[in-house]
Chain A
Amino acid sequence: MGNASAMLTQYDIEEVQDHCNYLFSQQEIVALYSRFCQLDRTAKGFISSDEFLSIPEFSLNPLSQRLLKMVDGLNFKDFVAFLSAFSPQATTQQKIEFIFKVYDADGKGRVTFKDLLEVLRDLTGSFMSEEQREKVLGQVLEEAGYSRESTLYFEDFMKILSKAGLKMEVEVPVD
């Protein structure tokens, strides 16, 4: 760290801010940049999976593999855009969009029973059997008016989750 190209100009900061829809302040973007440089040890311009996994708290998160697929190889601009869903300024819709993207791993715009099952498997590991997971999912889906065969789209997620009162905020430490 500390090489000449590690300095952000005002233009860079504004470009990044525009890309993340002004969800982070300029100070936060500078702080995120120093964090990005700290994680990107070999100054490649992106953070590799290995470098993400060297953060113990991230590594032991049950959803780390899913998130890794989303965040691996992103440059700084996209990295900030990725984290913008966690900004206190982000709307509920933006947060639900993020959650939808986590479920919709193949990016087709729809979430099937299989996708729901996969995320539940990540979250519960070996402490629930496959039958138990299917049973739980089937039950709650039916109670909400869906079935095992139904496909959930973003609008469905909005309907289900907007009442939930999502708390999904991260504070960027600004020196």
Chain B
Amino acid sequence: MNQRVGTDSSPLRFAACESASLPLFATFIGARRRAPPARTHRQIGSQLVGRRILAAMGGLDSSSMETDLDRPNIEEYLTTETIREVPKKLHLSDLLDISPTLTEAAGAIVDDSFTRCFKSNSPEPWNWNIYLFPLWCLGVVVRYGILFPASFSWLVSFSNLISCMFCRVGVLALGWIVFFAAFLPVHFLIRGHDKWRCKIERKLVEMMCSVFVASWTGVIKYHGPRPSRRPQQVFVANHTSMIDFIILEQMTAFAVIMQKHPGWVGFIQKTILESVGCIWFNRTESKDREVVATKIREHTQGVDNNPLLIFPEGTCVNNHYTVMFKKGAFELGCAVCPVAIKYNKIFVDAFWNSKKQSFTTHLAQLMTSWAVVCDVWYLEPQYIRPGEIPIEFAERVRDMISVRAGLKKVPWDGYLKYFRPSPKLTERKQQIFAESVLKRLEEI
């Protein structure tokens, strides 16, 4: 039996994984079915009984950063054919034969479903022959030389203003000037009429986001009913880059949960986004989770607050896959409105690989390409079903978003980009093996 490490269908990959390590594991299952469970198998029994208990075990553990759902539900992928009857007696060869574990490790080295989510897939170069190459050069000149810069030395015959108007940086700069000219007075001077102030600031932020989108010639199609401003609702979307927020913000002023960034992004976060009511979190702080959870809850209950936008993946993914959603947005007891975002890579890959480039470089890359093409679908609001736990609810919404945007699901926690997997996962593997050995030992 080949350990198939396919490039898609990661659940199948895990199925192969699990069945490869089955010789002793299978014995355990076989034994469990025949004989009444012994005391030592109480914990294992609960582990195998189904998604709920697996999920509940993971859900109860709120103090660790990584969820226990990093591994998919074993029962879903095990079929009766893969469980073969193995002789019960323990031999030296059974203990010496570590090949299943080694195969899993080697399979992970050769190809794993997690790093695939963060791979920037650059498109095939199309300018590879003699007549396409000059065309491409011309394109570079237009993109970098005319569309991008505000410098008028290129366009000697035009006036400064006109060249500014046609250049992206110029558009952006103009937009910022107009924005600040309007925002600062409104923010500082209109103190008494808070409602008006908020309304104007919201409109200004929306306008600024539209300017941003125009500066990289965004071609964005919105499908579905526009978000409404009601309390008791939260919006969730898949995450590819920080521009997701800008794209959604230009349609509706959302309040968003963001990681605090350094530099000019942090400055904008502090000054402007405060006005739409954003919530900050810090990935590296462990107690942060509860604090943020409380803030979220308060926000959704406030009537005047902007609708809250959350990216439950917690990190940027390359728009071909979705990683596991964090359950924080799904245990608030309010409506969850999924939003699916899919970028068309025809002109540029909008995935922000935060390990490879800073946001400024990423923006510059977007602004020096022809256009950013994107589809946004606003999907039907979902409510938690009776008897459903938050993790199941999160998975259901992830299903909806993945299907709508044509993304593949991967059963990993996005935070594994920054942290190592919890040792509990290794311990679970060890537990399975140990208990099976012990069980067979008792039967010798």
Question: What 1/0 flags go to B94-118 for Cβ under 8 Å of A?
Answer: 1111111111111111111111000
The residues of A that contact B438 with a CB separation of less than 8 Å are 128, 132
Q: Is the CB of B102 within 8 A of A57?
A: no
A169: contacting residue among B2, B90, B412, B430, CB under 8 A: B2
Q: Is the CB of A125 within 8 A of B430?
A: yes
B435: contacting residue among A2, A57, A103, A127, CB under 8 A: A127
Q: Once the chains are docked, how many angstroms separate the CA of A95 from the CA of B430?
A: 23
User: In chain B between 330 and 384, which residues have their CB closer than 8 angstroms to a CB of chain A?
Assistant: 355
User: In chain A between 122 and 175, which residues have their CB closer than 8 angstroms to a CB of chain B?
Assistant: 123-128, 132, 135-137, 139-141, 143-144, 146, 157, 160-161, 163-164, 166-173, 175
Q: Of the 9-residue stretches A4-12, A13-21, A59-67, which lies at the interface with chain B?
A: A59-67
Question: What 1/0 flags go to A114-128 for Cβ under 8 Å of B?
Answer: 001001100111111
Q: Which 6 A-B pairs have the closest CB atoms?
A: A125-B430, A127-B434, A57-B108, A124-B434, A58-B108, A144-B92
Any chain A CB within 8 A of the CB of B1? yes
The residues of B that contact A86 with a CB separation of less than 8 Å are 3, 102-103, 106, 110
Q: Once the chains are docked, how many angstroms separate the CA of A54 from the CA of B415?
A: 11
The residues of A that contact B99 with a CB separation of less than 8 Å are 95, 99, 166-168
Q: Is the CB of A139 within 8 A of B108?
A: no
The residues of A that contact B91 with a CB separation of less than 8 Å are 140, 143-144
Query: Contact residues of A with B, CB < 8 Å?
Result: 2, 32, 35, 38-39, 41, 52-64, 67, 71, 83, 86, 88, 95, 98-99, 102-103, 116, 119-120, 123-128, 132, 135-137, 139-141, 143-144, 146, 157, 160-161, 163-164, 166-173, 175
Q: Once the chains are docked, how many angstroms separate the CA of A32 from the CA of B420?
A: 24
Known A-B contacts A57-B112, A126-B427; the reply to A161 vs B103 at CB < 8 A is no
Extra A-B contacts (7), CB below 8 Å, given A143-B91, A170-B106: A2-B122, A38-B119, A63-B101, A119-B98, A163-B93, A168-B102, A170-B3
Q: Is the CB of B2 within 8 A of A99?
A: no
Known A-B contacts A57-B108, A83-B106; the reply to A62 vs B1 at CB < 8 A is no
The residues of B that contact A95 with a CB separation of less than 8 Å are 99
Q: Who on chain B is nearest to A152 by CB?
A: B96
Known A-B contacts A119-B98, A170-B5; the reply to A55 vs B93 at CB < 8 A is no
Q: Once the chains are docked, how many angstroms separate the CA of A166 from the CA of B100?
A: 9
Any chain A CB within 8 A of the CB of B4? yes
B109: contacting residue among A52, A62, A120, A137, CB under 8 A: A52
Q: Once the chains are docked, how many angstroms separate the CA of A72 from the CA of B279?
A: 42
Q: Once the chains are docked, how many angstroms separate the CA of A86 from the CA of B411?
A: 25
Q: Is the CB of A62 within 8 A of B430?
A: yes
Any chain A CB within 8 A of the CB of B46? no
Shortest beta-carbon distance, B436 to chain A, in Å? 10
Q: Once the chains are docked, how many angstroms separate the CA of A7 from the CA of B2?
A: 30
Q: Once the chains are docked, how many angstroms separate the CA of A140 from the CA of B113?
A: 37
Any chain A CB within 8 A of the CB of B37? no
Q: Once the chains are docked, how many angstroms separate the CA of A115 from the CA of B167?
A: 69
Q: Who on chain B is nearest to A162 by CB?
A: B93
Shortest beta-carbon distance, A16 to chain B, in Å? 15
Q: Once the chains are docked, how many angstroms separate the CA of A119 from the CA of B101?
A: 12
The residues of B that contact A32 with a CB separation of less than 8 Å are 110
Any chain A CB within 8 A of the CB of B416? yes
Q: Is the CB of A55 within 8 A of B110?
A: no
Any chain A CB within 8 A of the CB of B437? yes
Q: Who on chain B is nearest to A123 by CB?
A: B433
Q: Who on chain B is nearest to A142 by CB?
A: B92
Q: Is the CB of B4 within 8 A of A171?
A: yes
Q: Once the chains are docked, how many angstroms separate the CA of A60 from the CA of B421?
A: 7
The residues of B that contact A128 with a CB separation of less than 8 Å are 434, 437-438
The residues of B that contact A163 with a CB separation of less than 8 Å are 93
Query: Contact residues of B with A, CB < 8 Å?
Result: 1-7, 20, 70, 90-115, 119, 122, 355, 412, 416, 420-421, 425-427, 429-431, 433-435, 437-438, 441, 444
26 A-B residue pairs with Cβ-Cβ distance under 8 Å, sorted by A, are A35-B110, A41-B355, A52-B109, A53-B420, A54-B420, A58-B108, A61-B105, A61-B108, A63-B105, A120-B95, A124-B430, A127-B430, A128-B434, A132-B438, A140-B92, A140-B94, A144-B91, A164-B97, A168-B103, A168-B106, A169-B1, A169-B103, A171-B2, A171-B110, A172-B5, A172-B111
Q: Once the chains are docked, how many angstroms separate the CA of A95 from the CA of B99?
A: 9
Shortest beta-carbon distance, B109 to chain A, in Å? 6
Q: Who on chain A is nearest to B423 by CB?
A: A60
Q: Is the CB of B3 within 8 A of A61?
A: no
The residues of B that contact A168 with a CB separation of less than 8 Å are 3, 99, 102-103, 106
The residues of B that contact A132 with a CB separation of less than 8 Å are 438, 441
Shortest beta-carbon distance, A52 to chain B, in Å? 7
The residues of A that contact B6 with a CB separation of less than 8 Å are 171, 173
Q: Is the CB of A136 within 8 A of B90?
A: yes
Q: Once the chains are docked, how many angstroms separate the CA of A32 from the CA of B122?
A: 18
Q: Once the chains are docked, how many angstroms separate the CA of A123 from the CA of B429?
A: 8
Looking at B94, B425, B426, the one whose CB has the most chain A CB atoms below 10 A away is B426
A167: contacting residue among B1, B110, B425, B429, CB under 8 A: B1
The residues of A that contact B7 with a CB separation of less than 8 Å are 173, 175
The residues of B that contact A98 with a CB separation of less than 8 Å are 102
Known A-B contacts A38-B115, A99-B102, A102-B98; the reply to A59 vs B421 at CB < 8 A is yes
The residues of A that contact B96 with a CB separation of less than 8 Å are 99, 103, 116, 157, 160-161
Shortest beta-carbon distance, A138 to chain B, in Å? 11
Q: Who on chain B is nearest to A125 by CB?
A: B430
The residues of A that contact B355 with a CB separation of less than 8 Å are 41
